[in-house]
Amino acid sequence: MPLTMVKEGEPNIIKKIGGKEETRKFLENLGFVTGGTVTVISAMNGNMIVNVKDSRVAIGKDMANRILV
């Protein structure tokens, strides 16, 4: 399921990153890699703050929909 559907505070394992090659590279540079752990800190209007690789990252709804957990 996409990252936008998970509950706040629950750690999830990233199964797949979708989208174009440049989008996948961008997310990978932020720390979103297959097999990595991601935790949603907060979500407002589809925009999310997530904890990935010991850092907090803000991503938009369109990017979060491409991250499958």
Stretch (H or E) spanning 39: strand 37-44
User: What are the helix (H) ranges across the chain?
Assistant: 21-30, 61-64
User: Is the pLDDT score of 45 beyond 90?
Assistant: no
Global pTM value: 0.88
Q: At 23, which CATH number?
A: 2.30.30.90
Range of the domain at 53: 3-68
What average pLDDT does the segment 32-50 reach? 93
Confidence of residue 35 (pLDDT cuts 50, 70, 90): very high
CB-based contact 28:17 (threshold 8 Å):
yes
Confidence of residue 3 (pLDDT cuts 50, 70, 90): very high
Domains of the chain: total: 1
